[in-house]
Amino acid sequence: MKKRIFVVGNGMVGHHFVEQWQAQAPVGSYELHILAEEPVAAYDRVHLSSYFEHWDAEQLRLGEAELYQHADIHLHLGEGVEALDTEHRTLHTAKGCYEYDVLVLATGSYPFVPPIPGREQAHCHVYRTLQDLDAIAASAQGATSGVVIGGGLLGLEAANALKQLGLQASVVEFAPRLMPVQLDNEAGQVLKDKIEALGVQVWLEKSTTLIESGQEKRLRLNFADGSHLETDLLVFSAGIRPQDALARQAGLALAERGGICINSNCQTSVADVYAIGECASWQGQMFGLVAPGYQMAKTAVAAILGEESAAFTGADMSTKLKLLGVDVGSIGDAHGHTAGARNYRYLDEQNGVYRRLVVSQDGKTLLGAILVGDNSYYDTLLQYALNGLSLPAQPESLILPGTAAAPALGADALPASAVLCSCHNVTKGAVCAAMDEGALSFEAVKSSTRASSGCGGCASLLKSVVEHELEQRGVSVNRNLCAHFNYTRQELFHLVRVEGVRTFAELLEKHGQGGGCEICKPAVASILASCWNEHVQEPSHLPLQDTNDTFMANMQKNGTYSVVPRIPGGEITPKMLIKIGEVGEKYQLYTKITGGQRIDLFGATLDQLPLIWEELIDAGFETGHAYGKSLRTVKSCIGETWCRYGVQDSMGMAIQLENRYKGLRSPHKIKMAVSGCTRECAEAQSKDIGVIATDKGWNLYVCGNGGMRPRHADLFATDLDDATLVRYIDRVLMFYVYTADRLQRTSVWLESLEGGLEYLRQVVIEDSLGLGAELEARMQAVVDSYQCEWKTAVQDPTKRRRFRSYINAEDPRRARLEWVEERGQMIPARDITEERV
């Protein structure tokens, strides 16, 4: 007789149990039933907010539908369990009674709603299921604002969902900082500044005492301190609680703070009853991440089958997230609770980046870390923490930018025991074993080991390990952009151009899969801009942009923005110079002349940006594209017009080049310079495109850059006339746009070209590929389709609405910021007592 296995719950953990069971249990020896309360099969709750991007529940489905069509697996949708009788081994639902031999409780958790009077009103929601999201979307009809109570992980995800629905979003948090469990005070402040810069208002240390009907909005939240906030809809995301009501009714042992008590084999206090996931409590701990739940599911399968398996002994709770487009990472003992722990902190207020290391007292072991604003350090730090790798003599080198002492912890440095995917507990050794058995691509390894199929946070590390191992085996490496496109950036550019693809959705439908990610979305946005030059704030393009492109301004450390009008070649009339001064004085902006011969105006709030640009545009200015991966400046000396050493009109050429290429979007930012003689006052040889005058014409230099890894530009061609110079630059830049990788500088691109500089000369000068005319035509199309993005935005009411101020405040951003006077100008106040690395 077949053994009857019942699983209560079909969330991510319950689904993983089914997958593990089907893969390991002897065929024909069991009958597996899954009782699911929801009307749809298991879906990805980790990426739940992406539902508002594509409105397709199928894109969130977990696994293949064929899993539940197996002869011995029966999925009962919309059939929640109402009672459990462990003595008679029966489960009772509204549709009948079932007898079980083994029971697995995977009931998950439920959203905690604080006992606030008025919480039952219409337009008050929780954020947990697809049905919840549909209800929120229905409430958003006719609404303009939404509030989330709770500033943790789920709360910020919910705030992002409200923004995706077109609402002005606010977050109300009882604690003094966002994400209080994962972040310290400094990290919380950096995150708050970044999120507020995106237009989300954050209310900290607010205790809601009453929810009632609003005067101007549907609802009004009254706070304990006497203040209030009105909104059209409300989402509760104040934490979760284990869904243990069924176990409580059946008399199973529960933990003091809730949750079904389990041992290291995931067994409950009753024989043949197991509990896994968020409903379970192991040694008084409840684990709210998917990775521990998956480990519990695997342990329970092995225990039921009577196989030896590593017992569940807790789990790593490290997380790597992108919340509202902001990188956030937390590893291990992030708060330094371990006795004798030492701390290293790095804070870059200019760019909104914070990093903290927590190391053992002897400085040899990494205990924890916090990252905000830049998760590129996460994978390396996680491996140090998980695998107990010895830290360098100067641990701070791991978080300091550009530190020569910082050791590169690449794929070759990781031991075989290194856990790459904590969701499925996949080690580097397991990945190598899968590759030995024939999995010779990222997707094949992912399919074989399940690595990166949980939260997805390990994708970049897994990809680097796979590529390194392939190279070690002499196999050609797959350089696909990401898991959603089986193409490189160059191949995607070709598809967009040849097929005339105009949107990310169209490209995804034709050549991709899934819903996209933070890698492919901005990369495709750049490709579309390079090809068609449409406005970045068009509805189809806007969700793809990063923060700076979204608001067409560089976000600063205190959440304000900088305004950078274009000043071609640095040439400016007195009248226009006076206008910049007037604008700076009117809006109290900090004013600075940049190294690229432009003027930066700092401290503008989101709602001020259209007003400032309206005045500048009326005065004849254009956007300087300081926020985009595009041409920044063409620096120039004064040239032969004034200088006694000048041999050509460098000023005129710089202005011509800047006006020609000012609309070009590219894989990375581009800087140029033109010097009027070999004295090189414009420093052209440190630029992506450098031009130096000779008595016979112009010398062209290519692919240099400053920054963290300076590179001298290479001499490309000599004594060129004006027309030939422009033709060659057209070809070089467009060939770079055609063939460079995502976020690849021209210097790195040239180094990666097989044949290097000589090959580039053959393509551009000798036209060895027959692309010369096409490259010139594509560049001319960019020139002809140029638009000042800010002029378009201020004249379009729909686009302009994106820069509206916060609700219930006339000028809240500047009013809440602290300013001090320094050298005659207002700058953000800074705490000089803070300790820094």
Write out pLDDT tens, residues 568-623.
988 899 999 999 999 999 998 988 888 788 899 988 888 899 999 999 999 999 99
User: Is 803 within a domain?
Assistant: no
Report whether pLDDT(736) > 80. yes
Q: How many helices (H) and strands (E) does the chain have?
A: 25, 38
Burial class for 537, CB neighbours closer than 10 Å (0-12, 13-18, 19+): buried
282 φ, ψ (degrees, to nearest 5): -110, 115
Give bridge partners of residue 260 from the DSSP assignment. 254, 280
Say how far apart CA 148 and CA 154 lie, in whole Å. 10
What is the C-alpha separation between 680 and 691, in angstroms, rounded? 9
Q: Which residues are annotated as a binding site for siroheme?
A: 681
What DSSP string runs through 120-163?
Answer: TSTTEEE-SSHHHHHHHHHHHTT--EEEEE--SHHHHHHHHHHH
Task: Find the range with the poorest average confidence among 88-92, 100-104, 169-173, 645-649.
Answer: 645-649
Residue 653 falls inside a structural domain: yes
Per-residue pLDDT, 729: 97
Give dist(CA 320, CA 382) in Å, integer: 10
Question: Which H or E element spans position 590?
Answer: strand 590-593
pLDDT of residue 309: 66
User: Do residues 223 and 273 share a domain?
Assistant: no
Q: Sign (positive/negative) of CA torsion 303, 307, 313, 319?
A: negative
**What is the DSSP pairing of strand 319-323 with strand 326-332?**
antiparallel
**pLDDT class of 559 with cuts at 50, 70, 90:** low
| Alpha-carbon span 33 to 95, nearest angstrom | 14
Q: What does R_g of the chain's alpha carbons equal in angstroms? A: 29
Name the pLDDT band for 456 (thresholds 50, 70, 90).
Answer: low
Strand 102-105 to 273-275 pairing: parallel
* Residues making up the binding site: 637, 643, 677, 681
Domain assignment present for residue 116? The answer is no
CATH number of the domain encompassing residue 197: 3.50.50.60
Say which amino acid occupies 308: E
Do 422 and 507 fall into the same domain? no
Among the listed residues 598, 655, 652, 607, the one whose alpha carbon sits nearest the alpha carbon of residue 627: 598
754/630 same-domain check: yes
Task: Output 819 or 639, whichever has higher pLDDT.
Answer: 639
**Residue 87 exposure: Cα atoms within 13 Å on the Cβ side:** 3
> What is the rounded average pLDDT of the residues 75-95?
95
Per-residue pLDDT reduced to its tens digit, 738-767: 999 888 899 989 988 888 899 999 999 999
Q: Does residue 675 surpass a pLDDT of 90?
A: yes
Q: Is the dihedral of CA 285, 289, 293, 295 positive or negative?
A: negative
Burial class (CB in 10 A: 0-12, 13-18, 19+), 358: buried
Domain assignment of residue 771, yes or no? yes
Q: Poorest-confidence range of 58-72, 529-543, 607-621?
A: 58-72
Q: Where are the beta strands (DSSP E) in 65-105?
A: 73-76, 81-85, 90-93, 96-99, 102-105
Query: Are 259 and 226 within one domain?
Result: no
Tokens of 130: 């697809």
Rounded mean pLDDT, 50-67: 80
Domain of residue 460, CATH code: 1.10.10.1100
pLDDT of residue 707: 64
CA distance 51 to 515: 9
604, 589 Cβ separation under 8 angstroms: yes
Q: Identify the domain boundary among 419, 443, 478.
A: 478
Percent of the chain having pLDDT more than 70?
A: 94
Do 96 and 197 fall into the same domain? no
Tokens representing 482?
């990401």
- Mean pLDDT for the chain? 87
pLDDT, mean of residues 334-350: 90
Q: Give the whole-angstrom CA distance, residue 717 versus residue 700.
A: 5
DSSP 307-340: ---PPP------EEEEETTEEEEEEESTT--STT
Q: Going by C-beta distance under 8 Å and a sequence separation of 6 or more, which residues neighbour residue 754?
A: none
Residue 806 has pLDDT above 60, yes or no: no
Residue type, 594: T
Residues marked as binding for [4Fe-4S] cluster? 637, 643, 677, 681
Whole-number Å distance between alpha carbons of 261 and 283: 8
Same domain, 261 and 135: no
Distance between CA 601 and CA 580 in Å, rounded?
A: 9
**8 Å CB contact between 678 and 692:** yes
Rounded Cα distance, 829 and 397, in Å: 28
Identify the pLDDT of residue 409: 59
Q: Which of 236, 271, 294 is where one domain is finished?
A: 236
619 in a domain, yes or no?
no
- Identify the pLDDT of residue 832: 34
Q: What's the domain range around 365?
A: 316-409
Distance of alpha carbon 283 from alpha carbon 42, whole angstroms:
28
- Closest by CA position to 351, among listed 562, 596, 522: 562
Please report the pLDDT score of residue 454 as a whole number. 66
SS3 219: strand
Question: Do residues 437 and 460 share a domain?
Answer: yes
For position 807, what pLDDT does the model report?
A: 37
Query: Residue 390 sits in a domain of what CATH number?
Result: 3.30.390.30
Same domain, 185 and 204: yes
pLDDT of residue 542: 81
The answer to whether position 573 is within a domain reads no
Total domains present in the chain: 6
pLDDT in tens, 260-303: 999 999 999 999 999 999 999 999 999 988 889 999 999 999 99
Same domain, residue pair 757 and 669 = yes
Percentage of the chain modeled with pLDDT above 90: 54
Helical residues (DSSP H) of 594-744, grouped into ranges: 609-618, 650-661, 722-739
Higher pLDDT, 834 or 708: 708
CATH of the domain at 665: 3.30.413.10
- Choosing from 447, 478, 509, the residue where a domain stops is 478
Average pLDDT over residues 813-825: 67
Q: Which residue has the tokens 């053994």?
A: 3
Which residue carries 């996949």 as its tokens? Answer: 426
Closest CA to 235 of 184, 160, 303: 160
Report d(CA 739, CA 752) in Å as an integer.
10
Q: Is residue 552 part of a domain?
A: no
274 and 386 in one domain? no
pLDDT of residue 427 exceeding 80, the answer is yes
d(C-alpha 563, C-alpha 584), whole Å: 10
Least confident of 195-209, 477-491, 789-803: 477-491
* Confidence check: pLDDT of 405 > 70: no
Token digits for 473? 């085996």
Q: How far apart are CA 623 and CA 551, in angstroms?
A: 12
Take residue 67 and report the two structure tokens written for it.
Answer: 């899993």
Residue 381, both tokens: 């730090």
For residue 403, what pLDDT band results from cuts at 50, 70 and 90? very low
The conformation of residue 11, written as its DSSP 8-state character, comes to S
Contact 254, 247 (CB under 8 A): yes
Residue 70 has a pLDDT of 84
Residue 423 phi, psi dihedral angles, 5° rounding = -60, -45
In this prediction, residue 410 has a pLDDT band, given cuts at 50, 70 and 90, of low
pLDDT at position 597: 85
Residue 465 binned pLDDT confidence (cut-offs 50, 70, 90):
confident
Q: Does residue 286 fall inside a structural domain?
A: yes
| Same domain, yes or no: 253 and 105 | yes
Whether the Cβ atoms of residue 309 and residue 299 lie closer than 8 Å to each other: yes
Q: Tell me, what DSSP letter sits at residue 601? A: E
Residue burial 184-214, b: 16+ Cβ < 10 Å; e: rest: bebbbbbbbbbbbbbbbbbbbebebeebeee
673 and 658 assigned to the same domain: yes
Q: Which residue has the tokens 């190391």?
A: 359
